[in-house]
Chain A
Amino acid sequence: MRRVVPLVALLVLAGCGSTPAPPPAGPGGVSGAVTVFAAASLTESFTKLGKDFEAANPGVKVTFNFGGSSALAQQLNQGAPADVFASAAPANMKQVTDTRTVTETPVTFARNRLQIAVPKGNPARITGLADFGRAELKIALCAEQVPCGAATKKVLQAAKVTGQPDTLEQDVKAVLTKVRLGEVDAALVYRTDVRSAGAEVEGITFAEADQAINDYPLAALAKAPNASGAKAFVDHVRSDKGRAVLAEAGFDGP
């Protein structure tokens, strides 16, 4: 599905071709299609933001490509047509800004922090990070190569705990799945992931999470096929309404 979205966007754009005259603008001054590449952890909140944006700008269609930030950055660097990029980590945004100029400096629009996720009822009686050193427990963590894994490493170091993970997953949603299915006793995921899992997963906050707060940068892309739409969407995400949606999903403000 994720793969299909850029393809659809490509076809839509190919249809537009290089004809200079854009379709007439709606009442909000924005028109046409807006293509947003966003980190997988933004799936729920950005889908909601996109609906709000479409409602505020009749005739505008927002298309999302959700995926791992580094995969998205690679797609953008390979020339995938997009208007906006929302990354879960500054490093992945930098990969894009290094090769493909953005209209302005990316802004941090949200922050995320880790939480301990345990299956409903907390069967292994996890109370804090210290439990991650218990070898008899099944523990899932993010692999160090992906942003949530880098954050995991920082908090475990801050807590002076040597984690005893059974698996190092390739993205945070894969970690969450292992908790949802009850295959692991505990895991470290973002607070927003715990919230998105609903009643199946319980979250436990811990002090060391402050040591690894993850910034989410957002930027309109320079080669955006729909520059005005890109700018309007960025503004929408940063508006009070946008912040409220993000806060509801469990994000901290910038």
Chain B
Amino acid sequence: MTRHVARRRPALLVVPALLGLAFLLVPLLGLLVRAPWARLPEQLFSPEIGAALQLSLLCATLATLICLVLGIPLAWLLARGDLPGRGLIRALVTVPLVLPPVVGGVALLLVLGRRGVIGQYLDEWFGISLPFTTAGVVLAEAFVALPFLVISVEGALRAGDGRLEEAAATLGASRWLTFRRVTLPSILPGVIAGAVLCWARALGEFGATITFAGNFPGRTTTMPLAVYLALETEPEAAIVLSLVLLLVSVAVLALLRDRWINGAT
């Protein structure tokens, strides 16, 4: 009975739904249509694109590692820690999700730049200057990507069953051991999903990167920056670069989808 009702598709919903789908997919198809297929291999294996892709993959991976190290404990604190003003803290943690990335870049520059609130001491005392370095790219990417991991892991923690942890505790396990051997394995699908999302977000980062880390081939020019600059003079190269990013994103999200389904069932 219910199955029969669910199978009927009212046109009022289907038409806008299909329009919505087309709205999202047609621009992506546009990339495929306009791609210079004949010159694709030559464009794809040019040293500039290779360098940008390599840098993008490296930075996104490092940013994801930073997010894992900082994000899992932060998510745990938000989900399990008994801290005051948790709602506000959670809101603040997710701000970079909605903040225009350029604003994030400006904020990073004002704090970690050479004349920044913290950056000036890094420069003075340790001779460390983050803008215009690969480390700067990693930081900018981690800044925009961290909320994805935190949200994902916090959700997994909340959905999880706290009784196993209690049982571990009553059997004499320390809190750290409980976290490591009981909590972490139980939320692993959530952590993986978060990490993949985080990585994909880091890979596509543009605004914060170009604002905070600048643009220099081989050092800070990631794929999105290369796309933007290529558009100025070589639209064909920009299309090829965009295709590569699109392909990577689709692959990552397809993978993620499976993980999520596996995690849920």
- Residues of A at under 8 Å CB distance from B? 68, 70, 138, 140, 143, 145-146, 165-170, 174, 178, 181-183
Is B186 at the interface (CB under 8 A from chain A)? no
Complexed CA–CA distance, A168 and B218 (Å): 12
Which chain A positions have C-beta within 8 A of B115? 181-183
What residue of chain B has the Cβ atom nearest to residue A167's Cβ?
A: B214
- The number of inter-chain residue pairs (CB within 8 angstroms) is 54
Interface residue B114 (Cβ < 8 Å from any Cβ of A): yes
Please measure, in the bound complex, the distance between the C-alpha atom of A140 and the C-alpha atom of B220, giving whole angstroms: 13
A181→B212 CA distance, assembly (Å): 11
Contact residues of B between 43 and 78, Cβ < 8 Å to A: none
Nearest chain B CB to A98 CB, angstrom units: 14
CB of B215 closer than 8 Å to a CB of A: yes
State whether B131 touches A183 (Cβ < 8 A).
yes
Answer yes or no: B232 CB below 8 A from chain A CBs. Answer: yes
Residues of chain B within 8 A (CB-CB) of A143 are: 215, 229, 232
- How far, in Å, is B230 (CB) from chain A's closest CB? 8
B216 and A165 contacting across the interface, CB-CB below 8 Å: yes
Report the nearest A residue to B129, measured CB to CB.
A138
Judge whether A138 and B132 touch: CB under 8 Å: yes
Q: Which residues in B have some Cβ–Cβ distance to A below 8 Å?
A: 109-110, 113-115, 129, 131-132, 210, 213-217, 220, 225, 228-230, 232-233
The 15 listed contacts between A and B (C-beta, < 8 Å) are: A138-B114, A138-B132, A165-B216, A168-B214, A169-B214, A169-B215, A170-B210, A170-B215, A170-B228, A174-B210, A181-B115, A182-B114, A183-B109, A183-B113, A183-B131
User: Closest CB of chain B to A4's CB: distance in Å?
Assistant: 15
Q: Does B114 contact A167, Cβ atoms closer than 8 Å?
A: no
Beta-carbon nearest neighbor of A165 in chain B? B216
Please give the distance in Å from B239's CB to the nearest CB on chain A: 14
- Which single residue of chain A is at the shortest CB-CB distance from B225? A170
Closest CB of chain A to B222's CB: distance in Å?
13
A167 touches B129 (CB 8 A): no
A170 near B229 with CB under 8 A, answer yes
Give Cα distance in the complex from A70 to B213, angstroms.
24
Partner of B214, one of A140, A146, A182: A140
Using Cβ atoms and an 8 Å threshold, which residues of chain B touch A70?
232
From A168, A169, A183, B114 is in contact (CB under 8 Å) with A183
Q: Which B residues are CB-close (under 8 A) to A146? A: 232
| CB contact under 8 A between A167 and B109, given known A182-B115, A183-B115 | no
| Contact across chains for A166 and B216 when beta carbons are under 8 A apart | yes
* Chain B neighbourhood of A138, CB < 8 A: 114, 129, 132
Residue of B nearest to A178 (CB): B214
* Pairs of residues from A and B, 7 with the lowest C-beta to C-beta distance, nearest first: A167-B214, A145-B232, A166-B132, A182-B115, A145-B233, A167-B132, A183-B113
Which listed residue, A68, A167, A181, A183, touches B215 by the CB 8 Å rule?
A167
**Cα distance, A182 to B117, chains bound together (Å):** 13
Chain A residues contacting B113 (CB-CB under 8 Å) are 181-183
Cα A169 to Cα B132 in complex, Å, equals 11
B192 to chain A, nearest CB (A): 35
Q: How far is the CB of A108 from chain B (nearest CB, A)?
A: 22
B234 to chain A, nearest CB (A): 8
B67 → chain A, closest Cβ, in Å?
Answer: 25
Q: A220 to B14: give the CA distance in the assembly, Å.
A: 47
Which residues from B are CB-within-8-Å of A68?
A: 232
Given contacts A140-B214, A167-B213, A183-B115, 11 further A-B contacts (CB under 8 A): A138-B114, A138-B132, A143-B215, A145-B229, A145-B233, A166-B132, A167-B132, A170-B215, A182-B113, A183-B113, A183-B114
Whose C-beta in chain B lies nearest to the C-beta of A140? Answer: B214
Give the chain A neighbours of B210 by CB distance below 8 A: 169-170, 174
Tell me, in angstroms, the Cα distance from A143 to B215 when the chains sit together: 8
The chain A residue sitting closest to B221, CB to CB, is A168
- Give Cα A156–Cα B109 distance, bound, in whole angstroms: 28
